[in-house]
Amino acid sequence: MVYYNDKELMIRNMEEADARIFTDEENAQGWHTDISKYLERLRDQAAGKCVSLTAVYKGLPVGYVNVYLTGLDGAFSGKGFPEIVDFGVLEKYQRKGIGSKLMDIAEEIAGQYANMVWLGVGLHSGYGSAQRMYVKRGYIPDGTGVWYRDKPCAQYETEIVNDDELVLFLSKKLEWKGEN
């Protein structure tokens, strides 16, 4: 399905061929990506658990985001709110509005299911641009503090690592498009 299309950018459902492209491109730019992440999202999309989106810029897949209709693990898990998972735009295509358009579409999809959407963002500097973008888009911390490996960190916790699993959960109120 195509959600957005102009002369340069198209947002559509993720396809299997996208998984290899994203894996190869992310590894080339120094990210540690495994194709299994994308294949899992495609399986979940086929099962109706999520909507996996790909941004295609000038004919090339350059970004992705997934909207899980009910959250996976984390601060809002089991509360019936959609979760945005694995958002990314290849570095050489950043700052072209691609990430913003992906998030616009993801939030539109989430707004069909609830009046709120949530996500977890990593805390190391590699997530800096995403952290800033989420704040600019109106996401706020949920108040449960920092989480590591799907559990809240205790005060003065010493057994954590500043890796991709150290996250802060954020949420945003949406205009709900669902039925009353």
Residues 6 or more apart whose CB falls under 8 angstroms from that of 98 comprise 9, 55, 57, 62, 63, 89
Return the number of other C-beta atoms located less than 10 Å from residue 152's C-beta: 13
Overall pTM > 0.85: yes
Q: Which CATH number fits domain 2-173: 3.40.50.410, 3.40.630.30, 1.10.10.10, 3.10.580.10?
A: 3.40.630.30
pLDDT tens digits along 39-58 = 999 999 999 999 999 999 99
Task: Name the residue ranges covered by the structural domains of the chain.
Answer: 2-173
- DSSP per-residue letters across 70-86: S--SSTTTTTT--EEEE
Query: In this structure, is the dihedral angle defined by the CA atoms of residues 130, 56, 96 and 114, taken in order, positive or negative?
Result: negative
Tens of pLDDT along the chain (180 residues)? 999 999 999 999 999 999 999 999 999 998 888 999 999 999 999 999 999 999 999 999 999 999 999 887 888 888 889 999 999 999 999 999 999 999 999 999 999 999 999 999 999 988 888 999 999 999 999 999 999 998 999 999 888 999 989 999 999 999 766 654
